[in-house]
Amino acid sequence: MTFLALQPLSLDLLPAAVALDQRCFGGLWTLDGYQRELESPNSELLVVVEKAEGRLPKASADRRQETGDRRQEAEGAREAEGAKEQKHLDSTLEISPSETLREQNSKLSPPRSTPHTLLPTPLVGLGCYWAILEEAHITMLAIDPVYQRQGLGQTLLYALIASAHARGLERATLEVRVSNASALALYQKFDFREAGRRRRYYPDNGEDALVLWRGGIQTPEFSGRLRDWQQQVYDRLCKAGWQLDIDSDR
């Protein structure tokens, strides 16, 4: 049984995207903003959703128990989103898994002790990049706070880079807060390097942003790096009790 789906953002998920944005960033983009992004040929938006008939991983269940009010708020938001979301979405992101990984994926199963529950297909992750000339400018990488530290950010970042590679882009760039140690560690795993610094970039507290850069996306050896990262993603998700659903026929 599969529990997560990686796919492009669709119209029916726009309200859920806005709600996730509100939980993660306090409302970075509006509904109209997401609509414009979805309509732009230069914008790529990818999401991670939990399947309607799935299980809540033990780590998430424990974290929800510990966070109390935040858990109730998050579940209430998902319940409202679930009424607006379709039960199933047709299109999924092709990230070219090898046959070996597809076979491995089909054999993965959650731990027997993992509790099961019926969920309203929540959107738990959202990523976006803009294709500008030969560059993928990553503008957003958001994971629901309840689902963090389970490999979903790594999964989504991998998918964005794989998409940029498939699109023929040469490099990827992004900005990150200088204090965001966990994000910096994640980007370093994907060979991002510091290219500059934007002073007082974030208006909420005047914090500086580091400009990170990852080149060589179209070099011959990069395909090997993608395969390595893909294996790491599958291993990390499996360790957290997740199984990723990818439509390899698309």
The pLDDT assigned to 61 comes to 44
- What does the pLDDT look like over 153-168, one tens digit per residue? 999 999 999 999 999 9
Verify whether residue 202 is a known catalytic residue: no
Find the catalytic residue in 53, 75, 175, 207: 175
Query: Does 199 have pLDDT greater than 50?
Result: yes
Mean pLDDT of the chain: 78
To the query of whether residue 187 is one of the catalytic residues in this protein, the response is yes
pTM over 0.85: no
Q: What is the mean pLDDT of residues 17-31?
A: 94
Model pLDDT for residues 120-132, shown as the tens digit of each residue: 458 999 999 999 9
- 34, 129, 147, 187: which is the annotated catalytic residue? 187
With contact defined as beta carbons under 8 Å apart, do 205 and 72 qualify? Answer: no
Domains and their CATH numbers in the chain: 4-170+216-245 (3.40.630)
C-alpha–C-alpha distance, residues 48 and 33, integer Å: 20
In this structure, the chain runs to a length of: 250
